[in-house]
């Protein structure tokens, strides 16, 4: 075994072998994979081997499509059969709500290049003869579904990697990982030690244990997963003989089942409600090619549905029940990427759908390690989407919930209850008493809307029980003054003698003067957006003190970026303030009058203009107040230490009675920002868009002297014009509004996609925001947006629906 390597990959399952292959294919051949036993000895060997392109996140779906397309290449390069069967499949809907969801899947496929077709239950039964079409209301056909040989695929990756120069060491158990003072990693095994620049934790069932070697507690948990294989079925034999083809895959979402042919019988798997974690706290190192004891009683309710939906199963015997453990993250997506605070340590774990996602994970991670960027928008898989709040107890609760809902509908207005509440602010109980309906962002409870007694969310694809109440919250803001809780924003403090120079290099904006704020795009080296913030200068002639506010869900993501770019001389310090700073916001035409009643500071437009920031007391509470509002109205953001938040809230609410103050939540805020064409991080602003494309180029200081990160690439985009433009549309919708990822049609073809939207209550318009090619970005008419299977006329809305001249916001 070699003693030095550029990369050590830990784990010989399909994910680890994919990472090894992609690193070698990209030119990093000084790489070695360490496996404690034989390859495939964790979850890989007993996997059902299904593969599919469908995923709730379009960017993950793209990587799944890549994974499936890769199998032919690795088979040819390695000489190892992968056993790929591209049978195609049907996705079945037993309810109208499920059919609406499937129509959204078909719509996404239009701009992802995934060929999907809505068909009737009878047409589905013609394709998959075991179906009782009377049990379903509709279906979708997918030609790219299939199955494969898990062992063959894994060994094909490994053999291909070896041919490219990589090495694989079996029966080599990693016992410890230690970082040296020079930053290199000592990977200590039962066969000796390897020193490496990079370590990849692809440990699968043992990912937690590998993480713990470097002080990392990863949010993953293994669940027992069962599928059965039937005896040979005459219906299967008859179909094979009649058509010369296998029976295609089927996913019965409402039955929580997936099915495919297995030799002369069928394989049926289930994600049952009565699920069971495996080895909750520590995975035994001696576990290998064993299976767990089957528990047919636990999956019996799902099987009963399966026998009703697929009657032929009633007449056959069960040959084998497979019960094996698979690891899941709390939301069911993988954990991929570099780990903050551990330079050179990477993770590729929690990849439950390894044969659909393993190739994409390997591609993204190898790109990231070699090029410094994953080469795709993989936010849904980024390990940084979780922070320290994702404890073992939280992970256990959320994984169990996610597993039980694997095939359940997640409505756009549905909030899942497991693991909550976890993080709350000091006014949580006060807002609950006012009827707050809570959501969650980065572990923190956030108010969505305020319900009268006896009213709650009714989950739906269409406008629901919150609609009229959110409308009232919107009018409270537009007609008087509203108050919202905004602690979910990420907050950062930057100090040190080098702070100004560092921020000038890190951010693309012009730095504001003392007491002022500005919008601050942050770019990667390729000129694409990696963040957008509000930057405030709190310093004076004697000190540097800067405040940044940004997306709360991206706190860990952005701290990883900040810390990776800090100067080595200690001249700059950055702190994520998290729960150390809470927030309130007031907005509306009476907001200034309210603020005047609770502070002695001069908050007139002359003394405290738009984008000003200063410290002042709100009642008795010391606060940091900035004149800015995401509502697009006259407004103020108030930042306050948690011990003073209740006092500030009570002072504002008491003084606001004169102005009929009311509370508003994030759903009203969404309606308000849509009227201003405001975008948001992780929807409109993502690392696949440039500032010109995203409409943020007006905040980029192209002419400033500092050579900020991404400057040359941004200048090139400005000169060439980019490919896309972010635009707002008014949609002729009836009883439902876009939520994001719907296709935008123009001239009879899909030309773009929606990033977000909703109903703008004050303007009484259904609004969509999305990207279209620049060539058609200034056309007023001719657009359509597909929503729940129907195309609706959409008109370009180039100017904001509300306060187009910004008089209210700046006045």
Distance from CA of residue 220 to its chain's centroid? 16
Give residues with Cβ within 8 angstroms of 43, minimum separation 6: 13, 204, 205, 222, 324, 325, 326, 327, 354
Q: Tokens 């939207």 label which residue?
A: 757
Pairing of strands 490-495, 573-576: antiparallel
Cβ atoms of 663 and 621 within 8 Å: the answer is: no
Q: Collapsing DSSP states into helix, strand and coil, what is residue 661?
A: coil
For the chain, the maximum distance between any two Cα atoms, rounded to a whole number of angstroms, is 87
From the number of C-beta atoms within 10 Å of its C-beta (0-12, 13-18, 19+), residue 241 rates as exposed
How many Cα neighbours within 13 Å face the side chain of 123? 13
The CA-atom distances, in angstroms, between 40 and each of 149, 261, 430 are: 11, 23, 53
Cβ atoms of 772 and 727 within 8 Å: the answer is: yes
Over residues 234-276, the pLDDT tens digits come to 999 999 999 999 999 999 998 899 999 999 999 999 998 889 9
What is residue 292's DSSP assignment? Answer: P
Cβ atoms of 208 and 238 within 8 Å: the answer is: no
Cβ atoms of 168 and 285 within 8 Å: the answer is: no
Which residues are bridge partners to 623 per DSSP? 616, 640
Cβ atoms of 202 and 157 within 8 Å: the answer is: no
Q: How far apart are CA 484 and CA 447, in angstroms?
A: 8
Cβ atoms of 709 and 801 within 8 Å: the answer is: no
Please count the residues of the chain: 811
Element at 78 (helix H, strand E): helix 58-78
pLDDT recorded at residue 288: 80
Q: How far apart are CA 110 and CA 113, in angstroms?
A: 6
Q: Tokens 């090894």 label which residue?
A: 20
pLDDT by 10-residue block (mean), the chain, 811 residues: 96 97 97 95 83 84 92 95 93 96 94 92 97 97 91 96 98 97 97 98 97 98 96 97 96 93 95 93 90 92 94 94 95 97 97 93 97 93 96 97 92 96 98 98 98 94 97 98 98 97 98 98 97 96 91 97 96 97 98 98 98 98 98 98 98 98 98 97 95 97 94 97 98 96 96 98 98 96 96 97 94 89
The radius of gyration of the chain's CA atoms, rounded to the nearest angstrom, is: 27
Question: φ, ψ for residue 438 (rounded to 5)?
Answer: -100, 140
Distance from CA of residue 377 to its chain's centroid? 10
Q: How far apart are CA 654 and CA 469, in angstroms?
A: 22
Over residues 412-451, the pLDDT tens digits come to 999 999 999 999 999 999 999 999 999 999 999 999 999 9
Q: At what angle do helices 150-163 and 354-371 cross, to 10 degrees?
A: 20
Percent helix, strand, coil in the chain, to 5, is 30, 30, 40
pLDDT recorded at residue 289: 80
Over residues 642-700, the pLDDT tens digits come to 999 999 999 999 999 999 999 999 999 999 999 999 999 999 999 999 999 999 999 99
How many Cα neighbours within 13 Å face the side chain of 304? 6
The CA-atom distances, in angstroms, between 268 and each of 98, 230, 619 are: 21, 8, 64
Structure tokens at 684: 């409109």
Q: How far apart are CA 42 and CA 325, in angstroms?
A: 8
pLDDT recorded at residue 59: 85
Cα three-residue angle 694-698-700, rounded to 5 degrees: 90
Which residues are bridge partners to 228 per DSSP? 268, 321
Instruction: Please give the torsion angle defined by the CA atoms of residues 495, 500, 506 and 507, in that order, rounded to the nearest 10 degrees.
Output: 110
Give residues with Cβ within 8 angstroms of 214, minimum separation 6: 177, 179, 342, 345
Q: How far apart are CA 787 and CA 499, in angstroms?
A: 47
Q: How far apart are CA 149 and CA 155, in angstroms?
A: 10
pLDDT recorded at residue 542: 75
Question: φ, ψ for residue 358 (rounded to 5)?
Answer: -60, -40
Q: How far apart are CA 632 and CA 669, in angstroms?
A: 10
pLDDT recorded at residue 338: 98
Beta strands in 87-240 (DSSP E): 89-93, 116-119, 138-142, 146-147, 167-169, 174-179, 185-189, 192-201, 221-230
Q: How far apart are CA 1 and CA 169, in angstroms?
A: 7
From the number of C-beta atoms within 10 Å of its C-beta (0-12, 13-18, 19+), residue 564 rates as exposed
Question: φ, ψ for residue 697 (rounded to 5)?
Answer: -65, -25
Cβ atoms of 10 and 346 within 8 Å: the answer is: no
């Amino acid at each position: 075994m070699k003693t030095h390597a550029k990369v050590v990959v830990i784990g010989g399952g399909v994910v680890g072998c994919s990472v090894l292959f992609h690193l070698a294919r990209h030119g990093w051949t000084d790489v070695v994979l360490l496996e404690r036993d034989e390859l495939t000895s964790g979850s890989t060997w007993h996997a059902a081997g299904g593969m599919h392109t469908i995923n709730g996140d379009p960017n993950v779906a793209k990587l799944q499509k890549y994974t499936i397309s890769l199998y032919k290449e690795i088979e040819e390069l390695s000489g190892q059969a992968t056993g790929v069967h591209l049978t195609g499949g049907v996705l079945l809907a037993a309810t109208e709500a499920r059919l609406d969801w499937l129509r959204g899947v078909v719509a996404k496929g239009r701009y992802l290049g995934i060929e999907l077709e809505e068909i009737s239950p009878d047409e589905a039964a013609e394709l998959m003869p075991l179906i009782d079409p009377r049990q379903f209301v509709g279906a979708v056909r997918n030609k790219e579904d299939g199955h494969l040989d898990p062992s063959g695929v894994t060994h094909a990756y490994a053999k291909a990697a070896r041919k490219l120069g990589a090495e694989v060491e079996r029966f080599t158990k990693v016992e410890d990982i230690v970082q040296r003072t020079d930053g290199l990693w000592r990977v200590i095994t039962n066969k000796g030690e390897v020193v490496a620049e990079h370590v990849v934790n692809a440990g699968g069932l043992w990912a937690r244990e590998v993480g713990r070697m470097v002080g990392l507690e990863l949010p993953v948990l293994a669940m027992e997963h069962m599928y059965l294989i039937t005896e040979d079925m005459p219906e299967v034999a008859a179909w094979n003989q009649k058509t010369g083809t296998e029976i295609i895959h089927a996913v019965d979402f409402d039955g929580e089942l997936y099915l495919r042919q297995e030799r002369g019988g069928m394989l049926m798997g289930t994600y049952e409600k009565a699920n069971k974690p495996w080895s909750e706290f520590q995975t035994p190192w001696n576990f290998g090619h064993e299976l767990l004891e089957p528990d047919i009683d636990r999956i019996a309710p799902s099987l009963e549905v399966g026998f009703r939906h697929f009657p032929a199963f009633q007449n056959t015997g069960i040959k084998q029940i497979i019960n094996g453990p698979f690891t899941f993250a709390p939301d069911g997506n993988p954990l991929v990427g570099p780990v903050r605070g551990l330079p050179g340590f990477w993770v590729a774990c929690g990849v439950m759908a390894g044969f659909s996602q393993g190739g994409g994970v390997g591609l993204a991670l190898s790109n990231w390690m070699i090029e410094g960027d994953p080469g795709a928008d993989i936010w849904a898989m980024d390990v940084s989407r979780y922070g320290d709040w994702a404890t073992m107890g939280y992970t256990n609760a959320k994984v169990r919930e996610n597993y039980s809902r694997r095939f359940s509908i997640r409505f756009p207005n549905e909030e899942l209850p497991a693991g909550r509440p976890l993080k709350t602010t000091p006014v949580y109980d006060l807002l609950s008493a006012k009827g707050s309906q809570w959501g969650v962002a980065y572990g923190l409870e956030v108010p969505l809307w305020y319900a009268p007694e006896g009213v709650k969310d009714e989950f739906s694809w269409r406008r629901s029980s919150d609609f009229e109440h959110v409308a009232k919250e919107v009018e409270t803001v537009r007609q008087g003054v509203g108050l919202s809780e905004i602690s979910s924003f990420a907050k950062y403090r930057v100090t040190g003698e080098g702070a100004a120079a560092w921020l000038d290099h890190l951010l693309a904006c012009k730095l504001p003067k003392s007491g002022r704020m500005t919008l601050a795009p942050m770019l990667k080296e390729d000129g694409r957006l990696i963040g957008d913030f509000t930057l405030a200068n709190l310093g004076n002639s004697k000190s540097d003190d800067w405040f940044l506010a940004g997306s709360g869900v991206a706190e860990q993501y952005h701290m990883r970026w900040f810390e990776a770019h800090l100067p080595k001389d200690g001249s700059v310090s950055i702190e994520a303030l998290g729960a150390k700073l809470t927030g309130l916001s007031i907005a509306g035409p009476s907001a200034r009058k309210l603020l005047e009643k609770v502070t002695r500071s001069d908050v007139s437009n002359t003394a405290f203009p738009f984008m000003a920031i200063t410290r002042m007391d709100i009642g008795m509470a010391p606060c940091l107040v900035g004149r800015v509002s995401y509502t697009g109205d006259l407004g103020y953001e108030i930042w306050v230490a948690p011990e003073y938040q209740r006092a500030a809230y009570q002072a504002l609410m008491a003084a606001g009675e004169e102005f009929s103050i009311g509370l508003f939540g994030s759903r009203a805020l969404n309606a308000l920002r849509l009227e201003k064409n405001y975008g948001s991080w992780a929807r409109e602003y993502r690392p696949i868009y440039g500032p010109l494309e995203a409409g943020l180029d007006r905040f980029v200081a192209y002419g400033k002297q500092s050579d900020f990160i991404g400057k040359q690439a941004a200048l090139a985009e400005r000169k060439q014009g980019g490919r896309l433009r972010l635009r707002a549309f008014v949609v002729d919708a009836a009883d439902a509004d876009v939520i994001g990822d719907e296709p935008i049609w123009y001239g009879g073809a899909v030309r773009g996609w929606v990033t977000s939207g909703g109903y703008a209550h004050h303007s009484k318009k259904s609004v969509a925001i999305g990207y279209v090619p620049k060539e058609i970005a200034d056309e007023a008419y001719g657009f359509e947006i597909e929503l729940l299977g129907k195309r609706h006329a959409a008109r370009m809305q180039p100017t904001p629906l509300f306060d187009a001249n910004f008089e209210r916001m700046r006045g």
